[in-house]
Each structure stands twice: as structure tokens, then as C-alpha cells.
């Protein structure tokens, strides 16, 4: 059970890193290299916030 949770956490970190690096690559290609970090981290923050909000809603 602990191994599954560790694997899930590790894969989640890898997905977030992929999103951040992908956003950075796209914005670097467009000529705005600094914006990729903000967009990538912002996207990941929105996903984490949505997960937290979803967990607080009452299950029906």
C-alpha cells in the first residue's frame, strides 16, 4: 500500500515537471522564455487547488 502511494506521488511529480517544461519550451519557441515558468506552475497550482476543492465537497 505504501509502495503504491509512493509511486503515485512520484508519477504526479513527473507529470507536473513535464507540464512545466512543456510550457517553458512552448513559450521559449514563441520568444518569451520567462513566461513558461509562470504558466506551467500556474497550471499545476490550478490542478492542485481543484483537487483540494473537490475533496472538500460532500459526496452524494
Please say if the pLDDT value at position 25 is more than 90: yes
Residue 35 has what pLDDT? 92
Quote the CA–CA distance of 55 and 50 in Å, as a whole number: 9
**pTM for this entry:** 0.77
Please say if the pLDDT value at position 14 is more than 80: yes
Residue 55 has what pLDDT? 78
Name residues whose C-beta falls within 8 Å of residue 24's C-beta, 6 or more positions apart in sequence.
33, 36, 37, 40
**What grid cell was written down for 49?**
487547488
- Spans of all domains in the chain: 2-56
Residue range 13-41: average pLDDT?
A: 93
Amino acid at each position: 500500500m505504501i509502495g503504491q502511494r509512493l509511486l503515485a506521488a512520484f508519477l504526479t511529480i513527473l507529470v507536473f515537471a513535464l507540464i512545466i517544461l512543456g510550457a517553458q519550451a512552448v513559450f521559449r519557441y514563441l520568444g518569451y522564455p520567462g513566461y513558461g515558468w509562470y504558466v506551467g506552475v500556474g497550471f499545476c497550482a490550478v490542478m492542485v487547488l481543484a483537487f483540494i476543492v473537490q475533496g472538500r465537497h460532500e459526496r452524494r
